[in-house]
Amino acid sequence: MQYRIDGTPLPVVSCTLAAGETMITESGGMAWMSPNMRMETTGGGMGRMLGRMFSGESLFLNRYTAVGGEGMIAFASSFPGSIMPVEIAPGSGLICQKKAFLASEAGVELSVFFQKKLASGLFGGEGFIMQRLSGRGTAFLEIDGHAMEYQLAAGQSLVVDTGYLAAMSDSCSIEVVTVPGVKNMLFGGEGIFNTVVTGPGRIVLQSMPVSAMAGALRPFFPTSGS
């Protein structure tokens, strides 16, 4: 599989597949494709279907295979931001926010990831349930806004505001901490909780989460009755 990412701020990734190669995406993820791409909708078993439902994704995945020769398929972003290619390999999986997965090669496996600590899911902004990408192959993630990457050493941490964590290596851990000081909580404008991500591993942060975009636009929406 070869790919090219074009466009900003609503990018699209165009993938060229050799005959017999397959890509997977969430239901409705395909934007356009060549006529020789064959689609097959699959659930992958009841357990995986329920896991995708709890993680906020669709129950079914679509598999697209190039038949009879080289094929092309494109997947478009649904929000202004970036499309990030990531390489998944055995022993180096990736944990992603809900809705981050756009498409991948067929060797990548999607499953549900539960935060070990309930508080991390309820208050951390990334959600109690996230996505895990494992297996082998190239996957494409949707990032809200611009993507920033950091490589954390063992024991090294980064404090992240709610919603700005897009993805992390499955070797990283998450802990939710309260913002110190009552005045800071009430008047600091940063909320009550922060997420502390600790290495070792790679983390991907996003500059404009959907929730932050919605908050920025809310004052401009007409109120009911006006």
Our measurement of the distance from residue 28's CA atom to the centroid of its chain's CA atoms, rounded to an integer in Å, reads: 16
User: pLDDT class for 225, splitting at 50, 70, 90?
Assistant: low
State pTM to two decimals: 0.82
Q: What is the pLDDT of residue 184?
A: 44
Where do the domains of the chain lie? 2-219
For the chain, give the mean pLDDT: 83
Token pair belonging to 215: 């908050």
Of 48-57, 146-155, 179-188, give the range with the top mean pLDDT.
Answer: 146-155
Rounded to the nearest 5°, which phi and psi values hold at 173?
A: -130, 160
User: What is the tens place of the pLDDT at every residue in 69-88?
Assistant: 999 999 999 889 999 999 99
Q: For 167-204, what is each residue's pLDDT tens digit?
A: 999 999 988 777 665 444 444 445 567 889 999 999 99
CATH number for the domain whose boundaries are 2-219: 3.60.160.10
- In the chain, what is the straight-line distance between the N-terminal and C-terminal CA atoms, in Å? 53
Reply yes or no on whether the pLDDT at 211 is more than 80: no
Q: How many angstroms separate the CA atoms of 124 and 223, rounded?
A: 29
pLDDT reported for residue 182: 45
With contact defined as beta carbons under 8 Å apart, do 164 and 191 qualify? no
Radius of gyration of the chain, Cα coordinates, nearest whole angstrom = 19
